[in-house]
Amino acid sequence: MKTKIEVIEQKINAVYSTHKFIENAKKIKVEFYGSNIERLEALPIEKIESYNFAPEVLRLSFELEKLTYIEKNLWDHIKIERHVYAPELNKIFIKGYYIKAPQVDNMEKAIKFLCDLFSIDDLRNLKKFPTKIGA
């Protein structure tokens, strides 16, 4: 009989991958579940066997791809305009375009905001952006 972590690992590794980001996402997910064995003990094995891990792995792989693209191509072009007394007016400037980014006051939040707001294709095609995003 397989242990719960073995079942999870098998299901995660069964996700079809042709991309390095999917492979990295699978490794991260296996490590995550391996480090949370205590939580897994409360779940019945039937729930784990019926759960589809593919969307979780794919979602993480998209995030990894966006983060890598931003780090390699956009990092030096991202600037933040901060308003101390009116954080709802904060903006992110990126390659001549600006995006209204309320409550974004550091690079970590800016990167998360960009990843949540745009797809990888949007980030690659910055020339197609209007000069005011979220206006």
pLDDT tens-digit readout, 69-124: 999 988 888 999 999 899 999 999 987 788 899 999 999 999 999 999 888 888 88
Give the pLDDT confidence score for residue 41 in this predicted structure.
86
Q: Which DSSP letter does residue 1 get?
A: -
Which pLDDT score, from 0 to 100, does residue 132 have?
53
In angstroms, rounded to a whole number, what is the distance separating the alpha carbons of residues 86 and 70? Answer: 27
In the chain, domain spans = 4-70, 73-133
97 forms beta bridges with 94
Q: Confidence band (pLDDT; 50, 70, 90) for 128?
A: low
Token pair belonging to 70: 């931003």
pLDDT classification of 135: cutoffs 50, 70, 90 = very low
| Crossing angle of the two packed helices 4-13 and 20-35, in degrees rounded to 10 | 170
